[in-house]
Amino acid sequence: MTSAAFDVLGIGNAIVDVLTKADDAFLSQHGLVKGSMMLIDEARADTLYAAMGPGVEISGGSCGNTMAGVASFGGKGAYIGKVRDDQLGAVFGHDLKATGVSFETASATSGPATARCLILVTPDAQRTMNTYLGACTGLGPADIDVARVGSAQVTYVEGYLWDAPAAKQAVLKAFDAAHAAGRKVSITLSDSFCVHRYREEFRDLIRNKVDILFGNEAEIKALYEVETFEEALEAARKEAKIAALTRSEKGSVVIKGSETYEVPAAPVAKVVDTTGAGDLYASGFLFGFTHGKPLAECARLGGIAAAEVISHVGARPEKALSGLV
């Protein structure tokens, strides 16, 4: 295995978030389920946007947030994701590159606009997400530069990609390229609804290709269709090479064969907004992993990154994570 140009290469849905405040009545009026991520089409996105309050635009996307975290730790990151050649696409690209992440995926020059996620923040601080995938649906195998993938220690993808039809083929191409170069591959389950949509494919992938699995308690229970975290943990132990499972304020548990590491959550003065906690946990874990740290230390770094991001509004770190280790 040659030395790696990148620590982590991430593949994800390239999305600009549009945040606004809303009350419970607005959610019911528009048939939205609080706390969930729902996929919406362009017409629905337009209707919802017209109805919602003034917004704030900020680059997001689960994997984009993770890569911003890797860079914030001082790691070398690259990102593959599809935007349109429009203003929000330029915003997404600028913001990611400004964190230090390499991003060279060609923008779509036709077809749907850059993806956006309309996020309704209710007074209880919960977020209801409505994602219009737009240009993300154009991500395909042609966007996977196998040399670039082969030059990254770990290729990390988000389960959300399964919602974009051609993206799955892109992921499989990338996983094969990574393994051909002697590298590792990793996936996050993203969301329990996403797990329900693609359970069998995810389980197959975890058994046969994935080296590091990320998921939270709800997701891993949904994956194995069990009632308790302990059952899910033992199911994951049988099928995953390494699994890093997060449990909010209970910290995380990392398993690798018969090894088990329970790592407490990092202290947080005040939880302001939990969005991005899982994304940033993955960034800390992968930064540690690609810097030769033992698994328990990887989990600790994940916890530090998650604690930083939930202490403010927004899903990308505000403080340099390199200063918090």
Q: List contacts with a copy of itself (CB under 8 A).
A: 20, 49-50, 52-59, 68, 86-88, 91, 94-96, 98-99, 113, 316
Nearest to 125 by CA among 295, 306, 270: 270
Q: Which is nearer to a copy of itself, 71 or 254 (CB)?
A: 71
Can you read off the two tokens belonging to residue 8? 């982590």
Residue 203 belongs to what H/E stretch? helix 192-208
Shortest distance (Å) from residue 106 CB to a copy of itself:
18
The C-alpha atoms of residue 52 and residue 305 are separated, in whole angstroms, by 31
Q: Which is nearer to a copy of itself, 72 or 137 (CB)?
A: 72
Q: Which is nearer to a copy of itself, 26 or 224 (CB)?
A: 26
Q: What is the CA radius of gyration of the chain?
A: 18
Shortest distance (Å) from residue 281 CB to a copy of itself:
20
Q: Which is nearer to a copy of itself, 54 or 292 (CB)?
A: 54
Torsions phi, psi for 301 (to 5 deg): -65, -40
Q: Which is nearer to a copy of itself, 49 or 261 (CB)?
A: 49
The span from the first CA to the last CA of the chain, in angstroms, equals: 28
CA angle 313, 63, 231 (to 5 degrees): 95
β pairing state of 152-158 and 127-132: unpaired
Is residue 45 a contact partner of residue 112, using CB atoms and an 8 Å limit? no
Q: Which is nearer to a copy of itself, 94 or 207 (CB)?
A: 94
Shortest distance (Å) from residue 82 CB to a copy of itself:
17
Shortest distance (Å) from residue 54 CB to a copy of itself:
4
The C-alpha atoms of residue 56 and residue 296 are separated, in whole angstroms, by 37
Shortest distance (Å) from residue 130 CB to a copy of itself:
15
Q: Which is nearer to a copy of itself, 262 or 318 (CB)?
A: 318
The C-alpha atoms of residue 183 and residue 196 are separated, in whole angstroms, by 29
Residue 7 belongs to what H/E stretch? strand 6-11
Shortest distance (Å) from residue 318 CB to a copy of itself:
8
Shortest distance (Å) from residue 89 CB to a copy of itself:
9
Shortest distance (Å) from residue 116 CB to a copy of itself:
9
Burial of 11 (0-12, 13-18, 19+ CB in 10 A): buried
For 257, residues 6+ apart whose C-beta sits below 8 A from its C-beta are 237
Can you read off the two tokens belonging to residue 263? 């790592």
Torsions phi, psi for 125 (to 5 deg): 70, 10
Q: Which is nearer to a copy of itself, 59 or 102 (CB)?
A: 59
